[in-house]
Structure 1
Amino acid sequence: MSSISKLTTPSSRRQFLTLLGLSAVAVSCGTGGGGSAKDQAKTLRYQGWAGSVILPELAEDLGFLEDVKLKWVGNTISGPQDIQSAATGQVDFGGAFNGAVVKLAARKAPITAVISYYGVDKAAYNGFYVLKDSPIHSARDLIGKKVGMNTLGAHSEAMLDIYLQRHGLSQADIKKVEPLVVPPVNIEQSLRQKQIQVGVLGDILRDKALQTGGIRPLFTDHQLLGNFSAGTYVVNDRFLKENPDTARTFVTGVARAIEWARARPRDEVIDRQIEIVKKRGRNEDTGPLKYWKSFGVAETAGRIADKDLQLWIDWLAKRGDIEKGQVKASDLYTNEFNAYSRKDKSKDQSSAAKPTSKSGS
C-alpha cells in the first residue's frame, strides 16, 4: 500500500503547469472525436443529494457551465448507485468514493473518472467517535466491537480497515470488528445508547455531537492519511467520445467552482449554496449548509493523480475484492477534459472580494 508521504505529496509545479499547457492546446485545437459542437448534448442528467449542493450545481449557478445545462432526475443516497447509473446511461455523470469507482471499473464498466469532487482536509473530515468514558483507546480494543457507518464497502469501511491494518491487526482479528450500516442521522443516538461502540460522524452531525459533548475521537481520516481527494465524478465512455466539447465545458466548469469556493470567504460560499437550495424549491432544510467548511479536494482544479486511485486498488486487492494487477490506476481516469488554466485561476481569485450576479458574471 502507498505510504502516507506518497498520498500527501502534491504533484510537482512543473508537471502541473505542463498538464495545464496541454489542456490549453487541446482546447484551441478542438477534439479528435465526436460530432460538431452544435450536435453534442447540452443537457446533462444527474442525481443530487437532498439538502446539499453538489459542485456541478454550484458551477451552473455561477455561470461556469456556459451553454451546458443540468437536469435533475432525483436524489441518491449512495455513491456506488450514482456511478452505476452513469455506467448504464441513466444519468450522464455520477460521483462516488474512489474505491467504488475502482470496483466498478474492475467489472469492465464503461466509465472514466474526469475530476475529483470531494476529499479530506483539516476542515472536511470524518471521525470515528466513542463515548468519553469508553474503554476503547486503540485499534486492538475494537476487536468484537460494533462500528456504525452510513454504508459498507465505501469510504468509512476503507478508513477503518486501513487504521486496523496500520496498527498491526491480523486479517483474522480485523474480521472480528463489526462494521454496521446505521443511517447517519441515527449514528450519534445509537452511540450514546450503546447500541454501537463506535460511530462515524462528519460535517454537521460531527459538529453537533461534539457540541453536545460526552464523546471523543478514536481517530479521523485526516489524521490517518492527511489531505487527499477521496471521490471522483465519472462519465460513460460513449458519452465522452460523442460529446467531448460538452464534457470539457462540464469538467472545466466544475474545476472553476472548486477554485471559486477555495478563494471566497466561507460565509459567501455558504450563502450561495443556501440560495441555490431555496431557488430549486424542493422544501429542503438549509440548516446543515451553515456548517459547510470545505469540499476537501486536494489537487488544484480537482485534477486526478494515480495516487488518488492506487490506495483503493491496493485496499481492494488485499480484501480480495479485485485481483492484484487487475486494474491500473492510470487507465481509470483522464485530465484531458479539465482545461482550467492559470488565467481562469487568476480571474476567479481576483473577483473573490466582490459579489457576483446570480449568473456568475
Structure 2
Amino acid sequence: MKSVIRRIAALSALGWAALVPPSSAAAPEQTVLRYQASSVGQIAYAELADALGYLAPLKLERVGVQAGGPGGLQLTATGQTEFAQSFNGSIINAVAAGARLKAVAAYMSTSKENAVGAWVLENSQVRGARDLIGKKVGVNTLGALWDASVEEYLKRGGLNEQERKQVTLIVLPAANIEQALRQGQIDLALLSAGFQVQAEQRGGIRKLFDDHQLYGDVNLASIVFSADYVEKNPETLRHFVGAVGKAIEWLRAHPRDEAVAVYKQYLETHGQGSAVNGLQYWQGQSVATPGGVILNEDFARWEAWQQARAGARAKPVDIKAIYTNAFNPYTGKVAQK
C-alpha cells in the first residue's frame, strides 16, 4: 500500500509539474512551521502538500488541534504558531483589533457538494428565519463563518436587529452539536463535513439552509501568517504557498479514494491516527480559485459584517492590506475585479 501511494504521489507530481509555474530556488529562511491540525474532518492542504512531497525542505510541527478559527488566529498573531486557517471575516476582525496578520492563500470555498448545513429536527416547527426568534442555535465558535451565516440568513429572512438579537448562539464542540439538537438543547444545528454526513445518515433531521445557498461558489477562508513572519521569511512563504497551491490542484484533479488513501497514510504516520475514521465520511472539498489565489472580494464581502459587529468601535480596515498573492505562482491565472 505504501509503495502504491508513493507511486501515486510521484506520478502526480510529474503530471502537474508542467502546469505549475517554477518556484524560487532560494533556500527558505525558516524550515519548521508550527500549526494546529484541523478539527472539522477536512483534508488540510499543508498536510497534503507534505504527504505528496511538495513541502520539503519545509517541515510541519503540529502543536494541538484548532478548535476554532479566531483562537487559531490569536496563536499565530502571538507567535505560538507560524500559520493558522480561518474564516475571512474572522481575519478582518482580528486585524481590526490590532493583530498584524497576512492571509497568503485561500484554503476553503463553499459548493453544492461541500456546504455547511443548518439543520432542525424533522418535526420542528422552525420553517424559516422568523421561526428562529427566541430559539437557540448551536455553532462551533463565535465571530466565525457559522456565526456570520446565521446572521445572513436572518437578515435575508427580514428580521431586524432587535429580532436577530433574540436568536441565541450556543457554542459547542463540533462533535457535540448533533447530539445537542437531538436532545432538545438547541433548536438549530450547524454541521459540516463528516459530522453532517453522519447526522443525515441517521435521519430524523431536516435542512433549513446551507452556506452555498447564501453565498454561492466563493472562497470563505484563508491560510494566515503573522505579518512580521511574512516580512522576514519571504522564501519560506514562497515555497510554502507554492506547495499548498500544488496540493489544491492535485486534490481538484484526483478521485476521492486516491486522496483519502494518501491522506490516511499521512495521518497514521504523523501521530493523527484518531482522525482517520472521519475520512470515511469525507465527500470532497474545494477552493474556488486556482492554487488558492485570494480575490479582493473574498474579504470585501465581510467588511460590512465586521463593522456591524464592532459598532461604534469599528475602525476602518484596508482590505487589500490584509492579504497578499505575492508568493503564489498561480496569481497570473486569475483576473482580479
Q: Same fold (TM over 0.5)?
A: yes
Q: State the TM-score bracket (shorter-chain normalisation).
A: 0.7 to 0.9
Matching of residue 146 in structure 1 with residue 136 in structure 2: yes
How far apart in 2 are the matches of 1:187 and 1:330?
Answer: 36
Q: Secondary structure at the match of 2:113?
A: coil
Give the match for residue 296 of structure 1: 286
How far apart in 2 are the matches of 1:261 and 1:335?
Answer: 21
Long gaps (5+) in structure 2:
1-19
The one of 33, 39, 45 aligned to 1:44: 33
Measured against aligned partners, the alpha-carbon deviations of 1:296-315 in whole angstroms (never above 9, x if no partner) come to 31111111111111122111
Q: CA RMSD in A?
A: 2.2
Question: How many residues align structurally?
Answer: 313
Give the match for residue 93 of structure 1: 83
Percent identity over the alignment is 40
- Contact preservation (8 Å) 2:146, 2:190: yes
Give the match for residue 101 of structure 2: 111
- Contact preservation (8 Å) 1:256, 1:340: no
Question: What letter matches 1:178 in structure 2?
Answer: T
Structure 1 residue ranges (4+ consecutive) displaced by more than 4 angstroms after TM superposition: 50-53, 321-325
Question: What letter matches 1:94 in structure 2?
Answer: A
How far apart in 1 are the matches of 2:139 and 2:30?
Answer: 38
How far apart in 2 are the matches of 1:156 and 1:38?
Answer: 39
Give the match for residue 11 of structure 2: none
Cα distance change of structure 1 residues 168 and 120 upon mapping to structure 2, 3 Å threshold: same
Give the match for residue 206 of structure 2: 216
Cα distance change of structure 1 residues 278 and 137 upon mapping to structure 2, 3 Å threshold: same
How far apart in 1 are the matches of 2:193 and 2:129?
Answer: 24
Give the match for residue 194 of structure 1: 184
Q: Secondary structure at the match of 1:235?
A: strand
How far apart in 1 are the matches of 2:28 and 2:96?
Answer: 32
How far apart in 1 are the matches of 2:105 and 2:132?
Answer: 35
Offset of residue 325 of structure 1: 6.4
Cα distance change of structure 1 residues 117 and 95 upon mapping to structure 2, 3 Å threshold: same
Q: Secondary structure at the match of 1:284?
A: helix
Give the match for residue 167 of structure 1: 157
Measured against aligned partners, the alpha-carbon deviations of 1:120-150 in whole angstroms (never above 9, x if no partner) come to 1112111111111111111111100111111
Equivalent runs, 1:1-361 vs 2, <5 Å: 37-38=26-27, 40-49=29-38, 53-320=43-310, 326-340=316-330
Q: Secondary structure at the match of 1:238?
A: helix
Long gaps (5+) in structure 1:
1-22, 31-36, 344-361
Cα distance change of structure 1 residues 38 and 128 upon mapping to structure 2, 3 Å threshold: closer
TM-score by length of 2: 0.87
Cα distance change of structure 1 residues 52 and 277 upon mapping to structure 2, 3 Å threshold: farther
Give the match for residue 5 of structure 1: none
